[in-house]
């Protein structure tokens, strides 16, 4: 195998899968290169909770043997993928970053994981998150914080912070995350990588440990838009195990041919939601985003201002609904069927209370209490019922905007990566991180975050939102944004160190 070209940490998913399919590189050598980088540098970043060294190498070897026997490998041939640890992996520990599930080993794969495997990807490990995906910084993990590969004193965002950091550090060319109120897009933005939250129902939630079932979606985190589109094509599609999945309608299918000029946006109407550029938006975010919008206009897009008038109540609505659903979904972790049990000599209720108090962290407990309160008799109409009504208004805001424009463009996060510890004891300030992302989940629409390559010194994400099932349009705008940015995608200091490690 010594004639093989070494695998570098800046390779795309497309390059790896092509090279493995063509036999230029073995899946095993690619997998080992990424595992070596994780071994060398992840103790600085903390992006993985479990690295499946033996399982990954064995799986890669099987792919190599199949190829040697004449099989044509799938679209993700030999591509190492990091999977957020709230997605079930058969035989591999799945903790949701909760002490309560420290030793939970699922007996099945989530649909997205089995689709990765069917496409011949190699699952290399499980990434850190805020416990049960509740947070915006990955500091709410019951095990460890994850650090931002661009600045190790800062957060990677959350809750899919481990997945975004792993890609930004060069530990995996692609990862899966989940997004309930921004958890794919915000960490992607803060780590300088691409993240997609698909249309609600586009990707199966079977085997995703539920946080808020009416909002949760699984999506890819990658270096560039083409890789995100490739991963998305593998994981998307109806699933008999999730009745909320649907196929896109024909009119909303692919609309940019691969040969078209990627930076030509003539005929496309792009809306800039006024409310997503508040006066308080710091310049380190607003300037690169505005520069990107100017470039889209220069490429022929018809750019106009639009309004989403209920944006100011999105956070309150999101936190009532998400917490209400969480309080119900997390009731299953009662230490009877699921969860580490603290033995107790009196009754079973006391056992459950003790186990949940010991196993669940403070943010999860706060949310269960808030959600239980919002759903309780006498308060249901005032909180839960009201939030459902506001959700309809938020959805209607987007519908009327999309009567006039094809897509919306805005920042992904109101802040660049913030210092570790700076918000974790102030839940409201943490919740405000979701102001530009939660509405897309409430409305069920897709949204893509793509790095602004000229942001400096910390990454900034450009968010592109569209009507339901318009993922292909978002990819088209995201590709144009990439093409129009003269600079190549900058690499995080940890990814550079990964590359040096390969050379030495
Ligand atoms: N930050 C949001 C929250 O804490 C979103 C989390 C998510 O999307 N999983 O709920």
Ligand 1 midpoint to CA 275 (Å) = 20
- The pLDDT tens digits for 406-437 are 999 999 999 999 999 999 999 999 999 999 99
* CA 96 – CA 114 distance, rounded (Å): 19
Peptide bond connecting 457 to the previous residue in cis, omega within 30 degrees of 0: yes
Nearest-5° angle of CA 435, CA 318, CA 434? 25
**Cis status, amide bond into 137, omega within 30 of 0:** no
Ligand 1 binding residues, C-beta < 6 A: 133-136, 159, 179-183, 211, 322, 434
The pLDDT of 146-173, averaged and rounded, is 98
pLDDT tens profile 458-473: 999 999 999 999 999 9
List the one residue out of 204, 261, 191 whose CA is nearest residue 476.
261
**Which secondary-structure segment (H or E) carries 500?**
helix 493-503
Query: Which residue blocks in 69-204 are alpha helix, DSSP H?
Result: 111-118, 161-169, 185-191
DSSP 3-state assignment of 163? helix
**Degrees, nearest 5: CA angle 191-197-200:** 165
Centre of ligand 1 from the C-alpha of residue 297, in Å = 32
With contact defined as beta carbons under 8 Å apart, do 418 and 155 qualify?
yes
Closest-lying ligand 1 atom to the alpha carbon of residue 363: 4
In 3-state terms, what secondary structure has residue 242? strand
Structure tokens given for 216: 């949760």
Taking residues 311-340, report their average pLDDT: 94
Residues contacting 277, CB < 8 A, separation 6+? 286, 410, 411
Residue ranges of the alpha helices (H) in 313-470?
A: 314-329, 348-359, 362-375, 386-404, 427-431, 438-443
Tokens 């309930």 sit at which residue? 180
pLDDT at 123: 98
Q: How far out from the chain centre does Cα 7 lie?
A: 25
Give me the pLDDT at residue 3, please. Answer: 42
Q: Report the mean per-residue pLDDT for the chain.
A: 94
d(CA 501, CA 493): 12
123 near 115, Cβ under 8 Å?
Answer: no
Closest among 206, 463, 242, 438 to 322, alpha carbons compared: 438
Mean pLDDT of 437-448: 98
Q: What is the pLDDT confidence band of residue 7, given thresholds at 50, 70 and 90? A: low
Atom of ligand 1 nearest to the CA of 212: 9
Selection from 59, 246, 93, 87 nearest residue 175 by Cα: 87
CA–CA–CA angle 146, 151, 156 (5° rounding): 35
**307: closest CA among 449, 433, 403, 444?**
403
Q: How far is the CA of 130 from the centre of ligand 1 (A)?
A: 9
pLDDT for residue 36 is more than 60: yes
In angstroms, the CA 431 to CA 408 distance is 23
Average pLDDT of the residues in 386-405: 98
CATH: 3.40.50.720, 3.40.50.10860, 3.90.1300.10, 1.10.3720.10. Which one for 13-315+385-495? 3.90.1300.10
Nearest ligand 1 atom to alpha carbon 133: 9
* Residue 486 to residue 452: CA distance in whole angstroms: 11
User: Which residues on neighbouring strands pair with residue 87, listed in sequence order?
Assistant: 208
Q: Which residues are tagged catalytic?
A: 84, 159, 183
Q: Which atom of ligand 1 is nearest to the CA of 180?
A: 8
pLDDT at residue 245, as a whole number = 96
Contact of 130 with 159, CB cutoff 8 Å? yes
Mutation choice for ligand 1 from 87, 98, 129, 136, CB with most ligand atoms inside 8 A: 136
Helix (H) or strand (E) holding 462: strand 461-465
Taking the mean position of all CA atoms in its chain, how far away is CA 130? 12
Please, which pLDDT band fits residue 266 given cuts at 50, 70 and 90? Answer: very high
Residue 439, pLDDT score: 98
Report the alpha-carbon distance of residue 148 to residue 416 in Å, rounded: 11
Tokens at 275, concatenated: 């409310």
**Range 93-107 average pLDDT:** 96
Mean pLDDT of 74-102: 98
- The predicted pLDDT at position 253 comes to 41
Q: How many A from CA of 140 to the centre of ligand 1?
A: 11
List CB contacts of 303: < 8 A, sequence separation 6 or more.
270, 271, 272, 293, 296, 297, 409
Q: How far, in whole angstroms, is CA 61 from its chain's centroid?
A: 29
Per the document, the length of the chain is 504
Domain boundaries, the chain: 13-315+385-495
User: Which run of H or of E encompasses 229?
Assistant: helix 225-235
Residue 179: φ, ψ to 5°: -135, 115
Residue nearest to atom 10 of ligand 1 (CA): 134
Alpha-carbon gap, residue 125 to 123, rounded angstroms: 6
The predicted-structure confidence for 352-375, as pLDDT tens digits, reads as follows: 999 999 999 999 999 999 999 999
Q: How far apart are alpha carbons 487 and 320 in whole angstroms?
A: 42
Whether the per-residue pLDDT at 402 is higher than 50: the answer is: yes
What integer pLDDT is reported at residue 243 of this predicted model?
95
Q: What is the largest CA-CA distance in the chain?
A: 72
């Amino acid at each position: 195998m010594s004639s093989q070209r070494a695998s570098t940490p800046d390779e795309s998913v497309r390059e790896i899968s092509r090279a493995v399919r063509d036999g230029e590189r073995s899946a095993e050598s690619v997998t080992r290169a990424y595992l070596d980088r994780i071994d060398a540098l992840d103790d600085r970043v903390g992006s993985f909770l479990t690295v499946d060294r033996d399982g990954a190498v064995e799986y890669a070897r099987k792919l190599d043997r199949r190829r040697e026997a004449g099989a044509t490998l799938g679209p993700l041939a030999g591509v190492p993928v990091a999977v957020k640890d709230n997605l079930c992996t058969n035989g591999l520990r799945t903790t949701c970053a909760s002490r309560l599930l420290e030793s939970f080993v699922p007996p099945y794969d989530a649909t997205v994981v089995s689709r990765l495997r069917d496409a011949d990807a190699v699952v290399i490990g499980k990434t850190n998150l805020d416990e049960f995906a509740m947070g915006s910084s990955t500091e709410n993990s019951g095990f460890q914080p994850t650090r931002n590969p661009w600045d190790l004193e800062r957060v990677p965002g959350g809750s899919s912070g481990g997945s975004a950091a792993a890609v930004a550090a060069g530990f995996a060319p692609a990862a899966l995350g989940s997004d309930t109120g921004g958890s794919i897009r915000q960490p992607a933005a803060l780590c300088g990588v691409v993240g997609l939250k698909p249309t609600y129902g586009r990707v199966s939630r079977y085997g995703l440990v539920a946080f808020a079932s009416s909002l949760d979606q699984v999506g890819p985190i990658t270096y560039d838009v083409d890789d995100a589109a490739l991963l998305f094509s593998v994981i998307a599609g109806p699933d008999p195990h999730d009745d909320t999945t649907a196929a896109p309608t024909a009119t909303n299918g692919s609309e940019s041919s691969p040969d078209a000029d990627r930076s030509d946006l003539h005929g496309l109407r792009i809306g800039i939601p006024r409310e997503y550029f508040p006066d308080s938006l710091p310049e380190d975010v607003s300037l690169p985003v505005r520069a990107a919008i100017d470039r889209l206009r220069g490429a022929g897009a018809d750019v106009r201002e639009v309004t989403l008038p209920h944006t100011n109540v999105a956070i309150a609505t999101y936190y009532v609904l998400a917490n209400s659903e969480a309080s119900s979904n997390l009731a299953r972790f009662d230490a009877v069927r699921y969860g580490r049990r603290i033995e107790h000599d009196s009754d079973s209720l006391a056992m459950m209370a003790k186990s949940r108090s010991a196993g669940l962290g403070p943010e999860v407990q706060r949310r269960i209490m808030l959600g239980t309160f919002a759903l309780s008799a006498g308060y249901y109409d005032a909180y839960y019922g009201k939030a459902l009504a506001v959700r309809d208004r938020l959805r209607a805001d987007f519908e009327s905007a999309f009567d006039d424009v094809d897509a919306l463009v805005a920042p992904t996060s109101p802040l660049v990566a913030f210092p570790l510890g700076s918000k974790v004891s102030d839940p409201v300030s943490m919740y405000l991180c979701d102001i530009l992302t939660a509405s897309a989940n409430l409305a069920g629409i897709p949204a893509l975050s793509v790095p602004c390559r000229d942001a400096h010194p910390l990454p900034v994400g450009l968010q592109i939102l569209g009507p339901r099932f318009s993922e292909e349009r978002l990819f088209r705008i995201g590709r144009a944004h990439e093409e129009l940015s003269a600079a190549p995608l900058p690499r995080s200091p940890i990814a550079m160190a990964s590359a040096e490690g390969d050379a030495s």
